[in-house]
Amino acid sequence: MNTPTAFDPATTALLVIDMQRDFCSPGGYAHQAGIDISRTQAVVPQVQRLLAAARAAGLLVVHTREGHLPDLSDCPPAKLARSVAAGAPIGSYGPLGRLLVRGEQGHDLVDALRPLPGEAVIDKPGYGAFYLTGLDSLLTRQGVRQLILCGVTTEVCVHSTLREAVDRGYTCTTVGDATAASQPELQAPALAMIGVEGGLFGRVSSTDDTVEALRAVAPVEVAEK
């Protein structure tokens, strides 16, 4: 993994991708689809550390949630069909309510990673966080040009968001050990793709290195605690 570039709190945002009950909790979409959710649950402590460091440094923090309107009018038929094939039809009922539907218990973020008042929450109907959302407008208004990405899953929503961000000109750092793939064999290749061709999709860092870099730019009274 590469060490991250220096972070300017005024132009950097932490993007926490889809740390929802539907992807991390028993009875949610991922669990219903047969995914080992212990992998997504395992990154919660790393994301907690990143959140604490980003908040202390004064970064913009953005949380995303994948999910659809109750009538599924924003869910393309092909996506719905894929969820049926996976054994977890979007909109069907499970222990946490209707799968991947906004307003349901499963759609919300896990308790350990609740947003603080004032932190942005972006609800997205697609895998990428820029598709049909106001994320780019929010980041532009705040003067953000650099993103730190973490969350789940590495090979789907993290990578989709990363690629969308790179196409829009953002400099990106993906925190590898604060992301998790749906299958263990996908994690390393998904991270390896980021650094091809001299860092085509940015760079990969660790939680330790990223937290250290954020502490370096935090106010002195916070950094010394």
- Burial environment of residue 15 by CB neighbours within 10 A (0 to 12, 13 to 18, 19 or more): buried
pLDDT along the chain (225 residues), means of 10: 74 98 98 97 98 98 98 98 98 98 98 97 98 98 98 98 98 98 98 96 98 92 48
Phi, psi values for residue 200, rounded to 5°: -55, -40
- Whether the ω angle into residue 179 lies within 30 degrees of 0, i.e. cis, is no
Q: Which of 155, 199, 150, 196 is nearest to 176 (CA)?
A: 150
Task: Pick 12-24+38-67+108-223's CATH classification: 3.30.1490.20, 3.40.50.850, 2.60.120.260, 3.40.50.970.
Answer: 3.40.50.850
Longest dimension (CA), the chain: 53
Looking at residue 219, what is its pLDDT? 87
Q: Just list the catalytic residues.
A: 18, 124, 157
Q: State how far the Cα of 135 lies from the Cα of 186, in Å rounded to an integer.
A: 27
Looking at residue 5, what is its pLDDT? 67
What is the secondary structure of the chain as a DSSP string?
Answer: -PPPPP--TTTEEEEEE--BHHHHSTTSHHHHTT--THHHHTTHHHHHHHHHHHHHHT-EEEEEEE-B-TT-TTS-HHHHHHHHHTT--TT-EETTEETTBTTSGGGSBPGGGPPPTT-EEEEESSSSTTTTSSHHHHHHHTT--EEEEEEE-IIIIIHHHHHHHHHTT-EEEEEEEEEE-SSHHHHHHHHHHHTHHHHTT-EEE-HHHHHHHHHHHS-HHHHT-
Cα Rg of the chain (Å, integer): 17
Question: Which two tokens mark 174?
Answer: 């993906």
Question: Which two tokens mark 96?
Answer: 């946490």
Looking at residue 221, what is its pLDDT? 56
Domain locations along the chain: 12-24+38-67+108-223
